[in-house]
Amino acid sequence: MAFKKTAETLPKGAHTLGRDYYVNPEILQKEYENLFLNNWICAGRSLDLAENGQYKVINIDTESVIVIRDDNGNLKAHFNVCRHRGTRICKNETGQFSKSIQCGYHGWTYDLKGKLIGAPHMDAVDGFNKKDYPLHSIALAEWEGFIFINLSDEPKDFESVFAPLKDRFSPWNISDLIVMETKEYHVKGNWKLVIQNFCECYHCPILHPELAAIHNYMGGRNDLHEGPFLGGYMDFNDDKDSITTSGELCCPPLNGVKDENLNRVYYYAIAPNMLLSLHPEYVMYHTVWPDGVDKCKVTCSWLFAKDVIASGKYNTKDAVDFWDMTNKQDWYISELSQLGIQSKKYSPAPYSGQESLLAAFDQYYLDKINKK
């Protein structure tokens, strides 16, 4: 959504991606293999699964993952694949198991940690040992109250991948915040259009007059400009205090947010599927999920301090409504982009100086996609 970037830091000759990257199913396949199934991806908030046995299912390409809070209160992720004849076990998007997970075909049963604890009539099978058939597990990490999963067989260490973000967001204390509201959007555009659109505010004066009245599209700086994490901040105009319909704070600023952070919004893309926006009094995050080459699913959640939500006396809707409107403006233009890019007459064109984060995203993306 943001970011001034000075022209001199734009890589020489940086152009938009070619048409194929938005329309070719083979490239989408590469994206699944090299980005979504081989990286840490955001799978929501730890508190989405507050109680033992609560689960959510994440479907991505041909894979399906059960993310669950086990009976010790720890989050785990398992492939949603029965170890007997491979059947997908869990069909619901969310739910709660009491003590075990049972396959609906022949009743093989797993505990919440994924261990096989029941396999009818298999005792009679020579050499069969239940301990050899747990659900396949998936790497999971928690960061700032978010769940990340990595479906790779050899996942890179989460801590080292996320080292550039260490302590960067501590003033917002994000792990203590609670989701007030989540909206789901279905966008008829390639998933990268959503990320790229988020990474610039060149479009703000035309597409978002309301947002442009809150922060000037030239009034920011990037502080992360290469690799999987990209973003920076934008200062509010003098007569504005936050990004809300009224332009005022919709509740008191978060405890740790002080000084210049009271006058700014920070926007970060956390590749491949998360967008994080930090305001003085609330935090918003998006997740972006490809759904074919020309569609994607986007979720947007608004997080507030626990006492703000509990008191019920603040107009948090002021923030939700503003961004819901702005999101829809962004999806609308992303859908038009998809339609135009599909034309045989679309060809890459130079990025402006305000779009250097897109050039950086494309660079990161191409490096990943072109890896064998």
Nearer to Fe ion, 208 or 264 (CB): 208
Give the nearest distance from C-beta 45 to ligand FES in angstroms. Answer: 30
How many C-beta neighbours within 10 Å does residue 156 have?
Answer: 13
Q: How far is the CB of 152 from ligand FES (least distance, A)?
A: 25
Which residue of 84, 130, 183, 188 would you call a contact of ligand FES, by CB under 6 A? 84
Closest listed residue to residue 149, CA positions, set 40, 48, 58: 40
> Which option in Fe ion, ligand FES, none does residue 84 bind, with CB closer than 5 to 8 A by kind?
ligand FES
**Shortest Cβ distance from residue 64 to ligand FES (Å)?**
14
Determine which residue in the list 85, 99, 186, 328 makes contact with ligand FES, applying CB under 6 A.
Answer: 85
CB of 130 to ligand FES, least distance (A): 12
**Region near ligand FES per CB under 6 A, out of 38-46, 81-89, 153-161, 248-256:** 81-89
Nearer to Fe ion, 211 or 249 (CB): 211
Q: Closest approach of Cβ 107 to ligand FES, in Å? A: 6
For Fe ion, the closer of residues 90 and 359 by Cβ is 359
Buried b (16+ CB within 10 A) or exposed e, 14-41: bebbebebbbeeebbebbbebbbbbbbb
List, edge to edge, every strand of the sheet that includes 94-96: 41-45, 146-150, 137-143, 75-79, 63-69, 54-60, 94-96
Residue 328 binds: one of Fe ion, ligand FES, none (C-beta under 5 to 8 A by kind): none
Please list every residue from 321 through 350 that binds Fe ion, using CB under 5 A: 330
- Dist CA 304 CA 1 (whole Å): 21
Among positions 54, 64, 87, 100, the unique one binding ligand FES when judged by CB under 6 A: 87
Q: Which of residues 90-129 bind ligand FES (CB under 6 A)?
A: 103, 105-108
Angle made by CA atoms 282, 287, 200, in degrees to the nearest 5: 75
8 A C-beta contact, residue 30 and residue 368: no
Name the phi and psi angles at 106, rounded to 5.
-120, 10
Q: Which is nearer to ligand FES, 105 or 306 (CB)?
A: 105
The pair of structure tokens assigned to 325 is 């409107």
Calpha distance 129→137 (Å, rounded): 18
How many chain residues interact with ligand FES (CB under 6 A)? 9
Q: How far is the CB of 120 from ligand FES (least distance, A)?
A: 8
Select from Fe ion, ligand FES, none the partner in contact with residue 135, using the beta carbon and a kind-dependent cut-off of 5 to 8 Å: none
Are β-strands 116-118 and 63-69 bridged in parallel, bridged antiparallel, or unpaired? unpaired
258 touches 281 (CB < 8 A): no
Contact set with ligand FES (CB under 6 A): 82, 84-85, 87, 103, 105-108
